[in-house]
Structure 1
């Protein structure tokens, strides 16, 4: 029987002791995690949530590692993150923009390289779906550009750690972050991923993701498209349908890491059933 495990992370704040006095208040991230856990449960996944103070680096990495130990070929791991995105200097030359992207967990940032490394523990044939409703802050001029685009009324809240905070956090915690950032085996790591990891992110790397009253913009739009399970179509169609309902300055991104799996991408979202290739019927030879 196909097994499904899901882990849902939502942080409405972070620990100011690690983030140099910044608590990163947000409104709807815990709600996103709760709603995604409900969606996963309705599809037959065994669910777990890590909300704000419980969403530590260790808890998240342990949760991913536990899933890797439990799942075999054909099984499904569903991981969602809702919270601030951050950036650190790229010290192993794997990023074209010179910056690594991060999740701002409660007691410290989780570097994207660490996530890539975690995928190596999963068995071949495991399907992994990752939804990330977060953003990565750009230059100060970019922040001003977004502010200028805001409509009248309350200012928008973006899920990005401010640049000045990112700089202070990195400078004051170099001893912690540099050994992670300097690892040189990322290419080997990516080549060693045997599972198929499908990512739908809330925006592009050079964009910002909006928080909201009830959900983040990406998660709320995803729920509208999903429509209680009435959506039918592939992950590509799902991604396109979500993007069509979002503003041009927040464009969801679809990408795949690890083993190519066209059957997985062609499935209905959140479907636990194992994708199988359709065998072609051999053509009958004509009688001469």
Structure 2
């Protein structure tokens, strides 16, 4: 059984005035953690993470996997959306990841990712960890580790990267779907930094930039040593949401997948 991973972290978004600070650290931290668990890891950082490079790397991750293999894809960067053109989104918009060259090449849509993920061989387990996107509020949790200063949302509004006159219409009410291609049976799991209507926050801990979700996910993994994904998610929820970090981490997958041993 092979274990392979792709870790993407993008701080630099040329032409948008919306740079982040913790995403490259996130990707490096996930990479180190996964390598320690026996994964062969590929990373794409900042200018390496063009849209074409992201498509190619996700495609290779999927193409080379065989039945019984586990693949992990982590993404830290901005999320965005465009108007849905094929009618498959109840809220009228396609959610997307933001590559380094989004102002030139455009976003990587959930529809595009669905096509790539659907090419997997049967029996390949997929874990997707997304530390990006959308807004809400709640006051609880523990943010004592958080550095002073205001966190920044990992959301890139369409007007930040689209040309005037091409902006999409306002979304319709309804449930959003950040990432397509997750199978409803088997071992597929999505760990997300927030609800679809919330933001994931880019901030700092001990003078080092990180995404809040990534920081607490890795802190609890080391500190609590949870055995299953459900237990890991519950540990993260002790810290998030909090007063200064109003994001509610999510876990999606079958009951059996959520009860699997982590990274196996």
Is residue 2:161 matched to residue 1:162? no
User: Which string of whole-angstrom CA distances, capped at 9 and with x for unpartnered residues, describes residues 15-67 of structure 1?
Assistant: 32xxxxx1421111000000000001000000110001000111111112112
SS at match of 1:105: coil
Distance 2:36 2:184 in 1: 29
**Equivalent position of 2:48 in the other structure:** 54
**C-alpha displacement at 1:107, in angstroms?**
1.5
Partner of 2:203: 212
**Greater C-alpha radius of gyration:** 1
| Cα distance change, pair 161–62 in 1 and its aligned pair in 2 (3 A) | same
Q: 2:218 aligns with which of 210, 217, 223?
A: 223
Name the SS for the 1:87 alignment partner: strand
Q: Answer yes or no: is 1:270 the counterpart of 2:260.
A: no
Distance 1:167 1:96, change over 3 A: farther
Q: SS of 2:166's equivalent?
A: helix
Alpha-carbon distance change, 111 to 243 in structure 1, aligned in 2, over 3 angstroms: same
Residue of structure 1 in register with 2:131 after alignment: 133
Separation (CA, whole Å) in 1 of partners of 2:185 and 2:27: 27
2:113 is matched with 115
Instruction: Report the number of matched residues.
Output: 235
Closer, same or farther in 2 for the Cα pair 1:254/1:192, shift >3 Å? closer
Give the corresponding residue for 2:66. Answer: 72
Going from structure 1 to structure 2, the CA distance change for 1:169 and 1:35 (only over 3 Å counts) comes to: farther
- Which of the residues 89, 93, 103 maps onto 2:87? 93
Contact 2:115/2:181, CA 8 A, preserved across alignment: yes
Which of 245, 249, 252 is 1:252 aligned to?
249
Q: Distance in 1 between matches of 2:90 and 2:159?
A: 22
TM-score calculated relative to the size of structure 2: 0.80
Structure 1: unaligned runs, 5 residues or longer: 17-21, 175-188, 272-288
Whole-angstrom CA distance in 2 between matches of 1:170 and 1:237: 47
Q: Which runs of 4+ in 1 moved over 4 A?
A: 189-196
Structure 2 SS opposite 1:81: strand
TM-score, with normalisation over the residues of structure 1? 0.73
